[in-house]
């Protein structure tokens, strides 16, 4: 079986690898800006520190940075490096695309639901004192579902890189 990519596949491989890198830049700007506002604006800082569920807003900040800026940069870099190291094109360009969409969908969902939990849970609630905690637990369940998608996306990424790397010794011996 040939392991050459078609022209379209090569183009898609480059496009999606660059998209990981472009989005890592965008997420870093959002994540750093978020951190600066959270630390620099006193009412915002007080809200995340003292409101009942404000810590979830910090979690959203942490994860847009870690899953957006840090992980996306690593994904883009390793999609470039591993095929070159292993001496063959990426095992599956389709899996690169699937990984890209599932990771981004999961990450944005996770961040949105962590933020909503922090915001809605922190707002005053008139009659029922348990209502915010109930709402927060539902919102966190959604954050967990989106988080599971991020985990699934990571497994797809790992599988694709392992399949790409497999057989590198035989390929090197052939070339020698």
Binding status of residue 19 toward ligand HEM by CB under 6 A: no
State the SS3 of the chain: CCCCCCHHHHHHHHHHHHHHHHHHHHHHHHHHHHHHHHHHCHHHHHHHHHCCCCHHHHHHHHHHHHHHHHHHHHHHHHHHHHHHHHCCCCCCHHHHHHHHHHHHHHHHHHHHHHHHHHHHHHCCCCCCCCHHHHHHHHHHHHHHHHHHHHHHHHHHHHHHHHHHHCCHHHHHHHHC
User: How many residues make contact with ligand HEM (CB under 6 A)?
Assistant: 22
Distance of closest approach, residue 79 Cβ to ligand HEM, in angstroms: 17
Binding status of residue 70 toward ligand HEM by CB under 6 A: yes
Q: Please say which residue, 151 or 166, places its beta carbon nearer to ligand HEM.
A: 151
Binding status of residue 39 toward ligand HEM by CB under 6 A: yes
Binding status of residue 150 toward ligand HEM by CB under 6 A: yes
Q: Which of 23, 24, 60, 67 binds ligand HEM (CB under 6 A)?
A: 67
Stretch that binds ligand HEM, among 4-12, 57-65, 83-91, 164-172 (CB under 6 A): 57-65
Q: Please say which residue, 88 or 99, places its beta carbon nearer to ligand HEM.
A: 99
Residues that bind ligand HEM (CB under 6 A): 31-32, 35-36, 38-39, 48-49, 58-59, 61-63, 65-67, 69-71, 147, 150-151
């Amino acid at each position: 079986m040939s392991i050459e990519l078609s022209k379209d596949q090569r183009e898609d491989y480059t496009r999606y690898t660059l998209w990981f890198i472009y989005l890592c830049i965008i997420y870093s700007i959002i994540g750093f800006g978020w951190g600066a506002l959270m630390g620099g604006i006193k009412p915002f800082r007080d809200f995340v520190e003292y409101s009942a569920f404000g810590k979830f807003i910090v979690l959203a900040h942490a994860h847009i940075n870690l899953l957006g800026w840090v992980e996306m940069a690593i994904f883009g870099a390793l999609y470039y490096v591993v095929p070159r190291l292993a001496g063959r094109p990426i095992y599956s360009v389709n899996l690169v695309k699937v990984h890209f969409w599932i990771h981004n969908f999961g990450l944005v969902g996770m961040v949105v639901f962590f933020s909503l939990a922090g915001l809605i849970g922190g707002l005053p609630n008139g009659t029922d004192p348990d209502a915010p905690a109930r709402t927060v637990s539902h919102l966190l369940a959604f954050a967990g579902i989106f988080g599971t998608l991020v985990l699934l996306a990571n497994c797809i990424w790992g599988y694709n890189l392992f399949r790409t790397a497999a057989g590198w010794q035989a390929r090197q011996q052939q070339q020698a």
